[in-house]
Structure 1
Amino acid sequence: DYKTALSYMEQSLDICREIGDWGEEDATLNNISQIYHARGEYDKALSYLEQSLDLQQKIGNRYGEGVTLNNIGRVYQARGDNAKALQYYEQSLDLRREIGDRAGEGVTLDNIGKINLDQGGYDKALSYLEQSLDINQEIGNRAGEGVTLNNISLIYHDRGNYTTALKYLEQSLNICKEIGDRRQEAVTSWNIGIIYKKQGDLVKAEQYMSRAVEIMEDIGHPETDVCREELAELRAEIKGQ
């Protein structure tokens, strides 16, 4: 319940400011921004992130500054302003490299890769995503590795190289199952199903897409209804063959 969570966080923010607890104030500003981001209220999300960034620069929290610059980039990307998103991601990447935040570096490289992918810059996207994958494997970030493998598969998918795309997706799916990341398992299963559908293997496509919808229903994924409709159309197509 976003409304209740926001109410508690706003109270917490007031207390932090009253007692001068800058560290907790910073964390709360970031948490509030995440709620507004999830609700699609991007201006409000940015307002809290900018307050957080000012505070981090004031107290010299370099690690937090890298996180917040990345999160500001995410908001601009969600708004479709890729140029502005890239500016913030690049600042975040420079800072994270400077302080040796390898996990953060992997996240930001992945985000930059996704923007290049959206813009059709496949070679550039692949370069960033492969750097992200190397870091995630090096530091043992299995969740990050699974996400990046999925993103790399999208490049091969868009290029029509379905065999290679499937190879990356299957690796991603194995990791999702291993670490219990059900949301990513649903996304990856769906993406595998889409490829089988494009290859004309509708039965195999139905198996993966059905599994994806099952998980989505279970976890309350926002795309459940859309995917359920697409799955129903696929089943009707199979029945009509």
Structure 2
Amino acid sequence: MLTVDFDKLPVGPGDRVLDLGAGGGRHAFEVLRRGADVVAFDQDAGEMESVAAMFAAMDKEGEIPAGARAETVVGDALDMPFPDAYFDQVIASEVLEHIPDDLAAMAEIVRVLKPGGQVAVTVPSFLPERVCWALSEDYHTAPGGHIRIYTLAELRAKLKSSGLEVGGHHHAHGLHTPYWWLKCAVGVNDDRNPLAKAYHELLVWDIMKRPAVTRIAEAVLNPLIGKSVVVYGRKPA
């Protein structure tokens, strides 16, 4: 399940891409499939072990184009172990809402990005996130959870103040928002609720099959209640 639109953030052979806060590696895997070199970076060592294992499995199955390379790095988003102007593109998907000093993290993104390089930043959308916070305290008070709710204007302003030229944006995962509202209403840690389980099965089916009816539904819902907002930008050349 990708949040970033790679038509808006083109990557390919010869590019070096950072997936900051890579988590389970979904964007890193797609970058690698497109032939670019990718670094999956996260503070969770366990997640990075799983991502490294997936990289190895992709290589074994012949899913990696010739010449493309992948690695995992464990570290702090506020002090990344990379030289200045090292990456052609940076993806920061669903990570800034977890970081107390988000401006310092944005400054690090700009530092490691080459002049003229592109960035895609995704965070939870304001309205869906605000409803989740109102429905459940557990949703946002768990250790390592979300510590802020961005408005689109705030995110764009902070990225611009960090030195990026901010471009277009879009929303994603409109079908997922009702699921999280339902989870927050019945208990985010309750995996037995039949309605939540049924909706989760629907989402898994949609991800696997991608039928036309749900693609149309999500396209309609995304501008209204898309769970994530994606902002694209560029470091001035």
Instruction: Give the TM-score normalised by the residue count of structure 2.
Output: 0.30
- Bigger proportion of residues as helix: 1
Task: Give the number of the structure whose alpha-carbon radius of gyration is greater.
Answer: 1
Instruction: Give the TM-score normalised by the residue count of structure 1.
Output: 0.30
Structure having greater relative contact order (Cα 8 Å, sep ≥ 6): 2
